[in-house]
């Protein structure tokens, strides 16, 4: 840390990420709204998931689900669900991921947590508890998604400016999936970056007791 309390170059303790890696994931990473024409391969989409799936969730419930939308009719349908200010951002993105959650995630608890398979019935018997758990942990997995994408040299543009009900009717009708937020991914155009917004200082956002 420097004298102003902001992150600066430092000597990393043994086992920690390099400064370059930290910059790639956090300090130099930017929310992107404009994109180059470079495509994102299907292999890379698989790799994002293979990284993010290892992030922790409560009771290893893993309720997050992802719908990757590329071009064509699916993209046009997606655009109808968006707030007007987000349409062009999404239209030009190589891929938009709908980060969702599965209302019936608990049916996979016996596979994911075999030592406590009885948790399946606990969640199934309490819809409020199950819903809160699924939404919270899918949001957590959405954060892992962004870090995984950045780790693979992709840029991200997460957003929540859309109609969740319309999104669910358009893409998840007849399923137990529900939309949480969306995230454009691709290779951002550095010439069109907006000025970076400020962040809260440690003293404004944290306490040590």
Which of these, 107, 89, 103, 187, lies nearest to 138 by C-alpha position? 103
192 inside domain? no
13 inside domain? no
Name the residue range of residue 72's domain. 30-185
What the block records as the tokens of 19 is 């400064």
Side-chain-side CA neighbours of 164 within 13 Å: the count stands at 10
| Euclidean distance between CA atoms 97 and 55, whole angstroms | 18
What the block records as the tokens of 100 is 């969702």
109 inside domain? yes
Q: How many domains does the chain have?
A: 1
102 inside domain? yes
108 inside domain? yes
151: CATH: 3.40.109.10
Per-residue pLDDT tens listing for the chain (209 residues): 443 445 565 666 788 898 899 999 999 999 999 999 999 999 999 999 999 999 999 999 999 999 999 999 999 999 999 999 999 999 999 999 999 999 999 999 999 999 999 999 999 999 999 999 999 999 999 999 999 999 999 999 999 999 999 999 999 999 999 999 999 999 999 999 989 999 999 999 999 99
């Amino acid at each position: 840390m420097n004298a102003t309390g902001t992150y600066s170059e430092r000597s990393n303790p043994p086992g920690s990420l390099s400064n370059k890696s930290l910059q790639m994931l956090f300090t130099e990473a930017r929310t992107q709204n404009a994109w180059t024409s470079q495509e994102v391969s299907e292999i890379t989409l698989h790799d994002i998931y293979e990284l993010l799936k290892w992030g922790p969730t409560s009771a290893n419930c893993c309720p997050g689900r992802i719908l990757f939308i590329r071009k064509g009719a699916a993209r046009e349908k997606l655009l109808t669900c968006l707030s007007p200010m987000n349409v062009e951002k999404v239209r030009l993105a190589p891929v938009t991921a709908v980060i969702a959650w599965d209302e019936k995630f608990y049916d996979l608890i016996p596979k994911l947590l075999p030592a406590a398979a009885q948790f399946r019935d606990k969640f199934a018997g309490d819809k409020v508890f199950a819903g809160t758990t699924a939404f919270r942990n899918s949001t957590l997995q959405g954060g892992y998604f962004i870090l995984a994408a950045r780790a693979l040299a992709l840029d991200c543009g997460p957003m929540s400016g859309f109609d969740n009900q319309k999104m669910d009717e358009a893409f998840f009708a007849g399923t137990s999936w529900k939309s949480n937020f969306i995230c454009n991914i691709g290779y951002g155009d550095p010439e069109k970056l907006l000025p970076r917004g400020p962040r809260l200082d440690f003293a404004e956002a944290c306490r040590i007791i």
